[in-house]
């Protein structure tokens, strides 16, 4: 192959060159020699070509439909917790899997569609090129634009309206779905359906002023109607149990009992420390009387992103969040000691009811539960 540079046209001659001539000129200037540049469909309009076009369009249309399904699931699918005995539990159970399935199909459809179009319609050229240094002159810029335009024409995308429309729908709706996912928190007002004006500041452990009814710590047995309260002798040293609020006035009220289990800020970890560990506890200022002996109660909602801190290491007295590996020290007011969490877990003040011998909450949490939000000051 000769590496001699072609004679450059004048500015007037350059302005008169069409795209094909600019493509050839650009190749000669860059020292490019096309070895193979076959047309994938030399005979236009064949059944095989139309079938290939429909296959590509199928994946883009699938992406668009999956993207629409993702938006519908994200906004309207039942997402609030339901107990297994409730009729809509299965719908709630499938909320997160359906988000993953629909968004995954939308992204997969665009990716497979692009790959199929490239494989079936873009010419598979074989070329060799001499390397050279230096910047790009005006003539280089014009010729490369012509070559890019020529590549688009040779890929026949301009005349394939079915693929263009389906690709636009698939990519556009997939992008819309990702945007909805990103801005989804703005679609619901967290205060809109709260029974209290400060819903994010209060949990199911709250009692109205003047209400003397005790809020007991209730175990979960799998039966919404079954109420099992917690006594000190029910737990071994070094153990942890998840408990929920219960009021005696709610006994037999299926809706109220279900709501107590369903509300996302209600779960509490009741931890009984070993005696030798309880002697090492460092308490938070203002919360010195929140525990009962060796028993400490902390929210189960991680202060990072609201995942359930479901794990408790007896030997190290660490509370662990399995989502992002935040760790909290149960011997130092559940202070974060590892991971992305920066705030301690809220502590629930508890005591023992002398009449029944069961644990109850002396009040609601003194601080907001879970991750930060705009109105939060701590």
Per-residue pLDDT of the chain (378 residues; tens, 9 = 90+): 444 566 788 888 888 888 778 877 887 777 787 777 788 888 888 999 999 999 999 999 999 999 999 999 988 888 877 767 667 778 888 999 999 999 999 999 999 999 999 999 888 878 787 666 666 677 777 877 887 787 777 777 777 888 888 888 888 888 888 887 777 767 667 677 666 656 778 888 998 878 889 999 999 888 888 999 999 999 999 999 999 999 999 999 988 998 898 888 999 999 999 999 999 999 999 999 999 999 999 999 999 988 998 899 989 999 999 999 999 999 999 999 999 999 999 999 999 999 999 999 999 999 889 887 777 776
d(CA 376, CA 335): 18
Q: What is the residue whose two structure tokens read 């469909």?
A: 41
Give dist(CA 112, CA 48) in Å, integer.
19
pTM of the predicted structure, to 2 decimals: 0.62
Name the strand (E) or helix (H) holding 128. Answer: strand 126-129
Contact 157, 121 (CB under 8 A): yes
CA-based R_g, the chain, Å: 33
**Complete DSSP assignment for 201-235:** G--TT---TT----EEEE---S-TT---B--GGGS
Identify the pLDDT of residue 131.
67
Query: Sign of torsion, CA 370 372 374 376?
Result: positive
3-state secondary structure of 44: coil
Pairwise CA distance, residues 31 & 100, whole Å: 49
- For residue 244, CA distances in Å to 92, 174, 215, 217, 342 come to 20, 40, 9, 6, 25
Residue 373 in tokens: 């939000």
- The CA distance from 157 to 155, in Å, is 5
Phi and psi of 66, rounded to 5°?
-65, -40
Assign residue 195 a region (left: φ > 0; alpha: ψ between -120 and 50; beta: otherwise): alpha
Residue 222, judged by CB atoms within 10 A of its CB (0-12, 13-18, 19+), counts as exposed
Rounded CA-CA distance 304/323 in Å is 10
Between CA 33 and CA 141 the distance in angstroms is 19
Query: What's the pLDDT score for residue 1?
Result: 44
Cα separation values, 276 from 41, 113, 163, 244, Å: 80, 63, 71, 28
Cβ(317)–Cβ(330) below 8 Å: yes
pLDDT of residue 36: 79
The values of phi and psi at residue 322, to 5°, are: -75, -15
**Relative orientation angle of helices 95-121 and 161-183, to the nearest 10 degrees:** 150
Rounded distance, CA 285 to CA 164, Å? 64
């Amino acid at each position: 192959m000769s590496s001699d540079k072609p004679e450059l046209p004048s500015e007037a001659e350059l302005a008169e060159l069409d795209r094909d001539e600019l493509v050839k000129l650009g190749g000669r200037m860059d020292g490019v020699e096309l070895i193979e540049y076959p047309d994938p469909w030399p005979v236009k309009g064949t059944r095989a070509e139309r079938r290939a076009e429909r296959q590509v369009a199928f994946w883009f249309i699938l992406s668009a439909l999956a993207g629409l399904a993702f938006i519908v699931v994200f906004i309207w699918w039942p997402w609030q917790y339901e107990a297994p005995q409730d009729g809509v539990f299965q719908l709630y159970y499938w909320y997160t899997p359906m988000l993953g399935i629909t968004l995954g199909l939308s992204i997969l459809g665009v990716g497979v569609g692009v790959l199929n179009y490239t494989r079936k319609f873009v010419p598979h050229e074989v070329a060799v090129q001499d390397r050279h240094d230096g910047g790009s002159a005006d003539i280089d810029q014009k010729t490369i634009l012509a070559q890019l335009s020529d590549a688009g024409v040779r890929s026949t995308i301009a005349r394939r309206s079915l693929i263009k429309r389906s690709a636009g729908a698939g990519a556009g709706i997939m992008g819309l779905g990702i945007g909805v996912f990103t801005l989804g928190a703005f679609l619901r007002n967290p205060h809109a359906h709260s029974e209290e004006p400060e819903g994010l500041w209060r949990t199911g452990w709250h009692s109205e002023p003047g209400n003397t009814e005790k809020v007991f710590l209730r175990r979960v047995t799998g039966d919404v109607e079954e109420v099992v309260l917690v006594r000190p002798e029910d737990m071994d040293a070094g153990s942890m149990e998840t408990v929920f609020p219960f009021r005696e006035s709610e006994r037999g009220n299926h809706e109220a009992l279900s709501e107590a289990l369903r509300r996302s800020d209600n779960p509490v970890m009741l931890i009984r420390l070993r005696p030798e560990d309880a002697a090492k506890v460092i308490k938070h200022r203002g919360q010195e009387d929140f525990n009962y002996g060796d028993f400490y109660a902390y929210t189960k909602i991680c202060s990072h992103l609201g995942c359930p801190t479901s794990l408790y290491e007896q030997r190290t007295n660490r509370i662990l969040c399995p989502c992002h590996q935040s760790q909290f020290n149960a011997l130092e007011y559940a202070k974060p000691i590892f991971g992305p969490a920066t705030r301690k877990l809220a502590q629930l003040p508890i005591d023992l009811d002398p009449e029944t011998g069961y644990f109850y909450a002396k009040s609601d949490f003194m601080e907001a539960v879970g991750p930060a939000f705009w109105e939060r000051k701590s």
